[in-house]
Chains A and B, each alone.
Chain A
Amino acid sequence: MLGSLDGVQQAKAPEFLYTRLKARMDKEFDQGGFLGRWLTRPALALSLAAFILILNATTILELWNQAPSVASVESQPLAATDYVVSSYPVYEETLIEP
């Protein structure tokens, strides 16, 4: 049984393999274009991903360590006025005195 492949003939490639291969290559190379192929290179894609992750991590760390500045505290009432953020209930304004 193990010898049933002894002397097996080499299978021939299907006809017009080159024509189909050429068509596939033309299609694949046209789709990506030079920029597409260059951008999808694993080394470049991974480097870009790593760069973005580092950038994000640095920004988060910076924000985390940053103490609230005096200017931002002072500007709070101003911002509240700008955006009409009032703390008193709206019913108090409409009270009609006898």
Chain B
Amino acid sequence: MAFKSLVATYQDMVYNTALGIVQNAEDAEDVAQEVFIQVYRSIDQFKGDARLSTWIYRITTTKALDHIRSRKRKKRFAFITSLFGPNDELVHEPIDFQHPGVALDRKEQAALLFRMINQLPDNQKVAFTLHKTEGLSYQEIAEVMELSVSAVESLLFRARQNLRKLLEKHFEQEKNAS
């Protein structure tokens, strides 16, 4: 019963964080389930020196990154086995991710930004996603990632710089193509 109430309390937080990182609804639910199974198994290891939400955020980001790595491995294998589906459609074609919480007039821009976020190094991606989609402060991100606040500031600064470069490159390629 206590576990059910824990899931009810944190499910949106876990799902939204996972969704921001894995950028796929089905995968995000899978990650959310894995997170709660991990919480159930290791709740006795929770020392209480951090907030429960911080601990759950930490598990979520780790599981989400693991999920991406495993998906990449599967994709590499799938690329070798087959590039095309039964109807000759290209399988594993990356589809732009649409976050359900983004305002309608920003959907297209947000989808492009998510595509660029996907290209960031893991720690920059996690910090940026926690900041943008979960609205966590630098202090909270530092606690989740077990870093200093200045390290988080630096991570987010580099993330923005990289995103700017990636977007510039994207628009330049688009301009050359047209």
Q: Which residues of A contact B (CB under 8 A)?
A: 1-2, 4-14, 17-18, 20-21, 24-25, 28
Interface-located stretch among B50-58, B67-75, B105-113, B142-150: B105-113
Specify which chain A residues have a CB less than 8 angstroms from the CB of B7 in the assembled complex: 17-18, 21
Specify which chain A residues have a CB less than 8 angstroms from the CB of B40 in the assembled complex: 25
Q: Does B103 contact A (CB under 8 A)?
A: yes
Specify which chain A residues have a CB less than 8 angstroms from the CB of B16 in the assembled complex: 10-11, 13
A18 contacts B100, C-beta separation under 8 Å:
no
| Interface 0/1 of B1-45, CB less than 8 Å to A | 000100110011111100100000100110011001100100000
Q: What are 10 of the A-B contact pairs (CB < 8 Å)?
A: A2-B164, A5-B102, A5-B110, A8-B132, A10-B16, A11-B12, A11-B101, A14-B29, A17-B7, A17-B15
Specify which chain B residues have a CB less than 8 angstroms from the CB of A11 in the assembled complex: 12, 15-16, 19, 28, 99-101
Please report the C-alpha to C-alpha distance between residue A5 and residue B107 in the assembled complex, in whole angstroms.
9
Q: Which residues of B contact A (CB under 8 A)?
A: 4, 7-8, 11-16, 19, 25, 28-29, 32-33, 36-37, 40, 99-103, 106, 109-110, 112-113, 132-134, 160, 163-164, 167
**Residue from B99, B100, B113 in contact with A1 in the complex, judged by beta carbons closer than 8 Å:** B113
A4 contacts B37, C-beta separation under 8 Å:
no
**Residue from A9, A14, A24 in contact with B37 in the complex, judged by beta carbons closer than 8 Å:** A24
- Distance in Å: Cβ of A18 to nearest Cβ of chain B: 5
- Distance in Å: Cβ of B38 to nearest Cβ of chain A: 11
Chain B CB within 10 Å, residue with most, of A1, A5, A6, A24: A5
- Distance in Å: Cβ of B70 to nearest Cβ of chain A: 17
Chain A CB within 10 Å, residue with most, of B14, B29, B134: B29
**Residue from B11, B32, B33, B133 in contact with A8 in the complex, judged by beta carbons closer than 8 Å:** B133
B113 contacts A8, C-beta separation under 8 Å:
no
Specify which chain A residues have a CB less than 8 angstroms from the CB of B32 in the assembled complex: 13, 17, 21
Give the nearest-CB partner of B25 in chain A. Answer: A14
Give the nearest-CB partner of A24 in chain B. Answer: B33
Please report the C-alpha to C-alpha distance between residue A7 and residue B110 in the assembled complex, in whole angstroms.
12
A18 contacts B133, C-beta separation under 8 Å:
no
B37 contacts A28, C-beta separation under 8 Å:
yes
Please report the C-alpha to C-alpha distance between residue A52 and residue B25 in the assembled complex, in whole angstroms.
44
Specify which chain A residues have a CB less than 8 angstroms from the CB of B110 in the assembled complex: 4-5, 8
Specify which chain A residues have a CB less than 8 angstroms from the CB of B99 in the assembled complex: 5, 8, 11
